[in-house]
Chain A
Amino acid sequence: MTLNVILPVGISFYTFHGLSYVLDLYNDRIKPERNFVNYAVFVSFFPLLVAGPIERATHLLPQIIKKREFNYMKAVDGFRQILWGLFKKMVIADNCAIYANDIFNHSSGYPGSTLILGAVFFAFQIYCDFSGYSDIAIGTARLFGIDLLRNFAFPYFARDIAEFWRRWHISLTTWFRDYLYIPLGGSRGGKWMSVRNTFIVFLVSGFWHGANWTFIVWGFLNALYFLPLLLLHKNRQNIEIAAKGKMLPSFKELSGMVITFALTLFAWIFFRAKDLRHAFDIFSEIFSASLFTVPRFKGDENVFILALLIAFFFILEWIGREEQYAIARLGKGWAKPLRWAVYYGIAMIIFLFAGKEQTFIYFQF
């Protein structure tokens, strides 16, 4: 039996904002807001209403209260970030979704080689869908002169799982850190307390995504990946972005990135599967001889174009990995017409290659 309750759009984000306000107030981090309009704008600020980033009262509320003035550079930057968000969502995520959905929904008919690529497509889909939305939200807020918290910082360039979680859905991770992990005792109670709290945070994070065992296993797996780093005190060894100041990564960095991506891919299969049985069926096919067959897809011609688009996206992300978002400083120092030509090119790619419209994945959470 289920309860058919009509919930307001973005209920979980209202809740996070409301909780953040109450907890920050309780901990004397902020003063009570007496103006109801200011408070209401904080809780329901429209760009982040449906999929974040999850804001903090300490960060957003003062910006709402303060009188803002139009800032040309900020607005241009916001516009650029919206453009990049649209590219990620409409070109990469929506096109990957076509293949990921087909492969996961008909997994029994595909060999292991196709299934593993289906997981890769899903990895890019969920990243570009969610971070694309965040870019659009952050960019829109910047048009109003408001800076929102960063939500993604090139997570697929992470060299270990701890770094991945410092770069993936940052506003949720830090929310759980500040309002769950630390109040539970954090790492102050010794190693085992720290391990226990880490598992609690990841399991709660999994459960937040839905009451399905697949999300719990996904959270548990991530906690498990995290464990060796925690026990060996290596969870803070990669703070800066990979290959900072260099063109290419070292072999060690590259292998770290590949292993981390493979581990997250493994966990994404649980996240995307409809139930545990489905996930295990996919794994049994992946770890079979069919992994070494030529992958096949519905619409082979288009998958080649998608591969090119992903490569283009990946290169831009790598070039811009030291910035807030990939194209933040692309063409900085170039003549204005040339810079405009680049943005115009991106807009044209969005128009020509946008995939079939798909709902944002995180709208459901």
Chain B
Amino acid sequence: MMRKFILESALFLTLVIITCYFILLRANGKSDHFYLHFTSPRQHSLILGNSRSAQGIQPVVLNEILSRNDIYNYSFTIGTSPYGPVYLKSVKKKLDHKTKDGIFILSVDPWSISSNSKDPNDPGQFKEKEQYVGKTHFVNMNPNFLYLFNSYGKSFYQLLPRQKSSITLHDDGWLEVKIKQDSASMQKRLERKIKLYREKNLKKYKFSYVRLDYLKETINYLKHYGNVYLVRLPVHPRIQEIDEELVPGFNEKMRMVSESTGAPYLDMSYLGDSLQFTDGNHIYRESVKGVSARIGEWIASHND
């Protein structure tokens, strides 16, 4: 009788587990903003950075200009993927180590080399290790149980494919945001973002030498696998003012990094007046194509 019970229980649990497995496989880019980053296979060429590059650089455009098909956007957010030990570790896991001629675009901005911890130069206090990038030790498995059980934080029915979603994570890692772009809504979002960055973030974040060193370490690591490029994406001029207050002389710092590592640096911040933004901080999808094309042409000019 015990044998019968064990067999029946095992059969029941197997049926349940198999169904769950197939349900999780159905998750798509509308299910979650980050999940597919951890289910895709190892990549040859990467775009790294925070939400500015997650939304602001479109791999498909770069692939077209550079005649490639392997560029993948592995950017997350200001709180989860600033340059540091956690992000570097995750990048190492995402990278296909057989790569020889990869392209690596590192989006840089004052927030990506700053920290909101008490001591901005103590890596032990960096908060991203408690976030999903830090907690997801396997980044190339589908379904990614580690992410789902440790970091997803919502009911799994919300993972099921949805058609109605204003945010889509594409297969190439680009996070597309569709949002009302009338001037009143844009202005409201801009004011809200400025308030958040000036009144909250600017008070908490401080420039971190350690993060800057990790940026250099990331560049030096990726150089073994291809060419590395540094890009500063444009933001709304009022957001840029806050950026300058956080890390004065940011461009000079990046030029020094560029000189010491040999990674070319492209500053696109001067474009802030001529683009559409969702909230001043993130480039709107209509403008992303143009920005990505400029980056692609700039990289192509370096390869000529």
Interface set of A (CB-CB < 8 Å, partner B): 70-72, 75-76, 79, 95, 302, 305, 340, 343-344, 347-348, 351-356
Q: Is the CB of B5 within 8 A of A75?
A: yes
Known: A70-B2, A348-B19. A356 touches B153 (CB 8 A): yes
Measured between beta carbons, the chain B residues less than 8 angstroms from A353 are: 155-157
Closest chain A CB from B122 CB (angstroms): 27
Instruction: Tell me the nearest residue of chain A to B8, going by C-beta.
Output: A76
Which among A71, A79, A352 has the highest number of chain B CB atoms within 10 Å? A352
Verify if B20 is at the interface (C-beta below 8 Å from A): yes
Q: Considering the chains assembled together, what is the distance between the CA atoms of A269 and B190 in angstroms?
A: 40
Verify if B287 is at the interface (C-beta below 8 Å from A): no
Known: A79-B9, A353-B157, A356-B153. A348 touches B2 (CB 8 A): no
Measured between beta carbons, the chain A residues less than 8 angstroms from B9 are: 79
Q: Is the CB of B12 within 8 A of A344?
A: yes
Measured between beta carbons, the chain B residues less than 8 angstroms from A347 are: 12, 16
Instruction: Tell me the nearest residue of chain A to B9, going by C-beta.
Output: A79
Q: Considering the chains assembled together, what is the distance between the CA atoms of A3 and B155 in angstroms?
A: 39
Instruction: Tell me the nearest residue of chain B to A75, going by C-beta.
Output: B5
Closest chain B CB from A6 CB (angstroms): 25
Q: Is the CB of A348 within 8 A of B16?
A: yes
Closest chain B CB from A230 CB (angstroms): 44
Instruction: Tell me the nearest residue of chain B to A351, going by C-beta.
Output: B20
Which among B12, B155, B156, B160 has the highest number of chain A CB atoms within 10 Å? B155
Q: 13 A-B contacts, Cβ less than 8 Å apart?
A: A70-B1, A70-B5, A72-B4, A302-B155, A344-B15, A348-B16, A351-B20, A352-B156, A352-B160, A353-B155, A353-B156, A353-B157, A354-B156
* B1-28 contact mask (Cβ, 8 Å, vs A): 1 or 0: 1101100110010011001100100000
Instruction: Tell me the nearest residue of chain B to A340, going by C-beta.
Output: B12
Measured between beta carbons, the chain B residues less than 8 angstroms from A355 are: 155
Q: Considering the chains assembled together, what is the distance between the CA atoms of A347 and B23 in angstroms?
A: 13
For the complex of A and B, the 4 pairs showing the least CB-CB separation, nearest first, are A72-B1, A352-B157, A70-B2, A347-B16
Give residues of chain B (149-182) contacting chain A, Cβ–Cβ below 8 Å. 153-157, 160
Interface set of B (CB-CB < 8 Å, partner A): 1-2, 4-5, 8-9, 12, 15-16, 19-20, 23, 153-157, 160
Closest chain B CB from A121 CB (angstroms): 16
Closest chain B CB from A358 CB (angstroms): 12
Q: Is the CB of B15 within 8 A of A356?
A: no
Measured between beta carbons, the chain B residues less than 8 angstroms from A72 are: 1-2, 4-5
Which of A70, A302, A344, A356 is in CB contact (< 8 Å) with B16? A344
Closest chain A CB from B132 CB (angstroms): 14
Q: Is the CB of A351 within 8 A of B23?
A: yes
Q: Considering the chains assembled together, what is the distance between the CA atoms of A348 and B15 in angstroms?
A: 10
Closest chain B CB from A80 CB (angstroms): 11
Instruction: Tell me the nearest residue of chain A to B156, going by C-beta.
Output: A352
Measured between beta carbons, the chain A residues less than 8 angstroms from B153 are: 356
Closest chain B CB from A251 CB (angstroms): 37
Instruction: Tell me the nearest residue of chain B to A348, going by C-beta.
Output: B19
Measured between beta carbons, the chain B residues less than 8 angstroms from A351 are: 16, 19-20, 23, 156
Q: Is the CB of B1 within 8 A of A352?
A: no
Q: Is the CB of B155 within 8 A of A95?
A: yes
Q: Considering the chains assembled together, what is the distance between the CA atoms of A351 and B24 in angstroms?
A: 11
Measured between beta carbons, the chain B residues less than 8 angstroms from A79 are: 9
Instruction: Tell me the nearest residue of chain A to B160, going by C-beta.
Output: A352
Closest chain B CB from A38 CB (angstroms): 23
Q: Considering the chains assembled together, what is the distance between the CA atoms of A351 and B156 in angstroms?
A: 7
Q: Considering the chains assembled together, what is the distance between the CA atoms of A49 and B54 in angstroms?
A: 48
Closest chain B CB from A90 CB (angstroms): 10
Measured between beta carbons, the chain B residues less than 8 angstroms from A95 are: 155
Which of B12, B15, B23 is in CB contact (< 8 Å) with A352? B23
Q: Considering the chains assembled together, what is the distance between the CA atoms of A95 and B153 in angstroms?
A: 11
Closest chain B CB from A132 CB (angstroms): 17
Measured between beta carbons, the chain A residues less than 8 angstroms from B157 are: 305, 352-353
Instruction: Tell me the nearest residue of chain B to A356, going by C-beta.
Output: B153
Measured between beta carbons, the chain A residues less than 8 angstroms from B8 are: 76
Q: Is the CB of B1 within 8 A of A354?
A: no
Measured between beta carbons, the chain A residues less than 8 angstroms from B156 are: 351-354
Instruction: Tell me the nearest residue of chain A to B152, going by C-beta.
Output: A356
Measured between beta carbons, the chain A residues less than 8 angstroms from B19 are: 344, 348, 351
Known: A340-B12, A344-B15. A352 touches B5 (CB 8 A): no
Instruction: Tell me the nearest residue of chain A to B6, going by C-beta.
Output: A75
Measured between beta carbons, the chain B residues less than 8 angstroms from A70 are: 1-2, 5
